[in-house]
Amino acid sequence: MLGTRDPAKTLARSAPDAYGNPPLASWLKSQPALKLGAFADAAGHGELVVNATQGTSSLEALEKAGEAGLNGKVLIDVSNPLDFSRGMPPTLFVKDSDSLAEQIQRAFPKARVVKTLNTLNAALMTDPGRLARAEHSVFLSGNDPQAKKTVADLLRSFGWKDIIDLGDITTARGTEMLLGVWLRLYGALNTPEFNFKVVR
């Protein structure tokens, strides 16, 4: 189930999105297994919750999702604390001595937050084989070893081969700050279809 602020309003949109994709209502027609609900519906529905909201709105969206729907669950956080208000490329509104992942973990201490997949483009997240036979890396940060194992199994089911556990949730400071070079590479390579392989 996909969560949104106001499902009726989301479904009423008829214009393409910012990337020229058809409106969500059209796409949902081709996805009979997928439901759209309010944030709280989606969180309550899920055995596992993914925060794929814009970083500036993540805490608000998760508050709307509600503790009841998040407590005890694995919460995969793929968001980035990008601040577009100061021009391009965006800066980070939290960094270095704190991270958005830690803000989320502090706001929902009973959720089992795992930061992952925030260092690459959406299309690659569930289909790493689009690039170099999946010979590239993805990172895990989180305080709960079992939650990280659940997420690593999910990532392997998508085809990920090189999954690097960086440690506790504070290590998300590293992967969120990686956006700095990701954004410049996006500019230099003129495509978001790339990823980092940790060669060792």
Six-digit token string for 193: 């279809």
SS3 69: helix
The two tokens of residue 161 are: 């081969």
Which of 127, 135, 145, 146: binder of a second copy (CB under 8 A)? 135
x/- track of binding to a second copy for residues 10-39 (CB under 8 A): ------------------------------
Compare residues 11 and 194 and give the one whose CB is closer to a second copy: 194
Task: State yes or no: residue 187 binds a second copy (CB under 8 A).
Answer: yes
25: left (phi over 0), alpha (psi -120 to 50) or beta: alpha
Cα–Cα–Cα angle for 18, 62, 9, rounded to 5 degrees: 45
Least distance to a second copy, CB of residue 134, Å = 10
Strand segments, DSSP code E, in 16-156 are 36-38, 48-51, 74-77, 82-83, 91-92, 112-115, 137-142
Closest CB to a second copy among 41 and 176? 176
Closest contact distance (angstroms) between CB of 46 and a second copy is 28
- For a second copy, the binding residues (CB under 8 A) are 86, 91-92, 95-97, 119, 131-132, 135-136, 139, 164-167, 171, 173-185, 187-189, 191, 193-200
